[in-house]
Structure 1
Amino acid sequence: MRTVHLLVSLAIGSLLMFVLPPSTLNESLAAASAQNQPEYAKFGRIAVQTAIQQQQAEVIDYLYQGKFPASATVTEYRFRLWMRKDGREYGLIAHVFVNNSTGQQQRIELEVLR
């Protein structure tokens, strides 16, 4: 089994060395990456996947437009996607509606821009 030596610098300038097995290091890096993602990242991935499936097109650009109250219990995350299909490009707005108390997606609406 391969181990990884991780050096951590403390504020006082000394170094601590930890020996971590690769699986622990990978889990730690994945957790740190998830913590550094913006709040909307999860819903952006869902918007992109849904657009690709429903439009049978590729996403060539992506813009987070913001978080909006849809009702007292639902928040809308809005994304502008630029799509390409059969050599034609067009815009799409993905509206991802999320339950405020559970944090779970309720529905997605795709609006093709003309």
Structure 2
Amino acid sequence: MKSKGTAILTALLLGITLMWTSPIAEAQPPYAKWGKIAMQQTMKTYPNAKVVDYLHVGRKTKTPTTSEETFKLLLQENNRMRALLVHIEFETKTEKVLKVRFEETR
């Protein structure tokens, strides 16, 4: 016969395991792929900067076949802070990246 404490511990561990393996826990927002590209391209262009904040601004349709995801990143390089908009233009159906554009902002 198991003790009450062992049963509670088993139930708790089972609950944690289900939470970690549940699809809900692993779900990512639809813009996650584009955010990763924005970060990678920013690090290539600003190799000495550190990204200290990140915001998904949104997606817009550019033409009937292309879209654009925009992110705002706050970069720190030495003692200088810089706000940067990263625009990623891509083919809507294939998601092929066409252009990545940087725009310094406030």
TM-score, normalization by structure 1: 0.67
Unaligned stretches of 5+ residues in structure 2: 1-13, 16-20
Distance between the aligned counterparts of 2:79 and 2:67, measured in 1?
35
Secondary structure of 1:108's match? strand
Please give the alpha-carbon distance, in whole angstroms, between the structure 1 residues aligned to 2:29 and 2:96.
Answer: 16
The aligned counterpart of 1:46 is 37
- Corresponding position: 1:61 with 2:90: no
Give the paired residue count: 89
Q: Which amino acid aligns with 1:98?
A: F
Deviation at 1:67, TM superposition (A): 0.5
Aligned residue for 2:102, secondary structure, equals: strand
Using the aligned pairs only, state the percent identity: 31
Structure 1 residue 95 and structure 2 residue 87: aligned? yes
Instruction: Please give the root-mean-square deviation of Cα atoms over the aligned residues, in Å.
Output: 2.5
Residue aligned with 2:43, SS: helix
Deviations 1:62-83 (A, max 9, x none): 0000011111111000000000
Measured after TM superposition, the shift of residue 113 of structure 1 is 1.8
Structure 1, unaligned runs of 5 or more: 1-6, 9-28
Q: Return the alpha-carbon distance in structure 2 between the equivalents of residues 107 and 37 of structure 1.
A: 24
Runs of 4+ in 1 over 2 A off after TM superposition: none
